[in-house]
Every structure is written in C-alpha cells, then in structure tokens.
Amino acid sequence: MKLSNLMSTSIDTKTFNDLPPLHKEVVTDFFKVYEKEEGSCIDRVENAIEKTAEFHNINTDVLYNYIDKEVDTQLGV
C-alpha cells in the first residue's frame, strides 16, 4: 500500500486499528496536515509530525513509532 492510498481512503490497517483512540485521531490528523504541507516528501512528513504532535500535545515519538510499525508491517518485516 502506498502513502497516497492511505491518504485517499480511511485508514484500515492492522497497525492503525491496534492504536488507542487518541492515537488514531493523531494519525488521521497527521495525514491531513501532510497533504497541506509543501516541499520534499521528507520535509512534509517532518513538518506534519511536528505540527500534529504540538496540536495534540503529544510526543513526536507517537507518530514516528506508528510510521515505523506501519512500514515494517507493509514490508512484511
């Protein structure tokens, strides 16, 4: 599954479904912010993580850990 597929539909992955409700909201908001960011893909991800974490008053590790787990799951690791 590509990132663009995750952004265009509701997220329905095992990794996402295993998250607590607050973290699901954070991840959903991350993708909304990511779409509005400008620059390279990496810059957009980092800016979206920072803004989303600040908005929800959470540690950025929540999003970085989610992304790591999602990538590992999608790659079959």
Three-state SS across the chain?
Answer: CCHHHHHHCCCCCHHHHCCCHHHHHHHHHHHHHHHHCCCCHHHHHHHHHHHHHHHHCCCCHHHHHHHHHHHHHHHCC
pLDDT, one tens digit per residue, over 6-51 is 555 577 889 999 999 999 999 999 998 998 899 999 999 999 999 9
pLDDT higher than threshold 70 for residue 75: yes
Give pTM, 2 decimals.
0.81
